[in-house]
A and B are shown apart, each in its own frame.
Chain A
């Protein structure tokens, strides 16, 4: 059972407030790029390089953009934003354990998916793999995701946050209404 929205919303709002009070607004999707960069750079150490003046750059135009800030994070993954997402996973894990964990069935796939598409794990994994691809490509194109654009962005009255939320919900609601017709 989930927290009542009044308590849950207040807690979530407090977390977003604490982040901007103490450090900076929350964002997540950039770290997928950083991890890609770390993996790529581990296989080919010429991907990210540091000039004599200390500035980082990359052979990849995306990692090199904005003065090489992504290249710098790839070279130094023990930074605030990267540790933040690892801590998110730790917090989620501990929270789920503390409430007794998920059922075996839910760990395989959500009941709502099963109700409309049956118990095939292959189908579900294909859907989440494809979903992950589209979500992260879209998030990087947009320059942020649900956390950075929608939550942090709209909280700061960013115009871009509103544009992002409009695009996301205009696409997500019809897609979900089309996909999930069986109640679960």
Chain B
């Protein structure tokens, strides 16, 4: 049962943080994606960087179990699926996780998103054999790979660079980009952000 308790604690923390950073608010998603307010982009980049540095530094210190890593396979469908998700993300302002949180915060249009999502997932379940036959799901570049070779991990590296040090370096790079990124790229200056 302890795993259920962890699910409750980490899940609730994740949902609460998504609400507080504005990720479940389509106004902030839309303004991030049309490049008029990159505040949320800075938040996300800092989060990826922070998580990466802590995880790989923790691995090097022997505090984080390398076996907890879970690397997904690379295949052409990852890119195609990313494109589809990107279009729907911009249109609705929700992705799967933030759509759930948004519905819980009282956004009724998010309920329609969840209904569409359940149907979309069902459509994939129905068409999976046909998709598989296209070859879109065939692994490329080694499949489940990391950019460097992480010591002790079950995954191969795209390069032979030490994966933990590379992970920290890339994490720091994400943090630097978060600081350097301007709040706004497109359009006129917008002093007040809407809630």
B128 neighbours in A (Cβ, 8 Å): 60-62, 65
Contact of B26 among A20, A112, A169 (CB under 8 A): A112
B50 to chain A: closest residue by CB:
A13
Kindly state the separation between the CA atoms of A89 and B43 in the bound complex, as whole angstroms: 21
Contact of A110 among B25, B81, B96 (CB under 8 A): B25
In the complex, chain A residues 140-167 whose Cβ is within 8 Å of any chain B Cβ = 140-167
- Contacts A128-B113, A132-B117, A146-B85 given; does A85 touch B100 at CB 8 Å: yes
B125 neighbours in A (Cβ, 8 Å): 33, 36-37, 60, 62-63, 140
Kindly state the separation between the CA atoms of A16 and B119 in the bound complex, as whole angstroms: 28
B9 neighbours in A (Cβ, 8 Å): 87
Chain B window 94-127, contacts with chain A (Cβ cutoff 8 Å), 1 for yes, 0 for no: 1111111111111111101111111111111110
Contact of B45 among A9, A21, A157 (CB under 8 A): A9
- Contacts A17-B50, A135-B117 given; does A102 touch B108 at CB 8 Å: no
Is A146 in contact with B95, judged by CB distance below 8 angstroms? yes
Chain B window 71-84, contacts with chain A (Cβ cutoff 8 Å), 1 for yes, 0 for no: 11111011111111
Is A159 in contact with B145, judged by CB distance below 8 angstroms? yes
Is A18 in contact with B190, judged by CB distance below 8 angstroms? no
A93 neighbours in B (Cβ, 8 Å): 15, 104-105
A132 to chain B: closest residue by CB:
B116
Contact of B70 among A16, A91, A106, A152 (CB under 8 A): A152
Chain B count of residues within 8 A CB distance of the other chain: 133
Is B88 in contact with A131, judged by CB distance below 8 angstroms? yes
Select the residue from A22, A85, A173, A176 with max chain B CB neighbours within 10 A. Answer: A176
Is A165 in contact with B91, judged by CB distance below 8 angstroms? no
With both chains docked as a complex, state the minimum distance between the C-beta of B14 and any C-beta of chain A, in angstroms.
5
CB of A35 closer than 8 Å to a CB of B? yes
With A95-B17, A130-B116 known, 12 other A-B pairs at CB within 8 A are A9-B45, A9-B50, A86-B11, A89-B104, A90-B8, A110-B26, A132-B88, A139-B95, A156-B55, A158-B146, A169-B86, A172-B89
List 7 tightest A-B contacts by C-beta distance, closest first: A167-B82, A13-B50, A131-B92, A9-B46, A142-B81, A132-B116, A87-B11
B contacts, CB < 8 Å to A: 3-4, 6-22, 24-28, 30-31, 33-36, 39-40, 42-52, 54-55, 58, 63-64, 68-75, 77-110, 112-126, 128-129, 131-132, 136, 141-142, 144-148, 150, 158, 163, 166-167, 170-171, 174, 178, 186-188, 190, 193-195
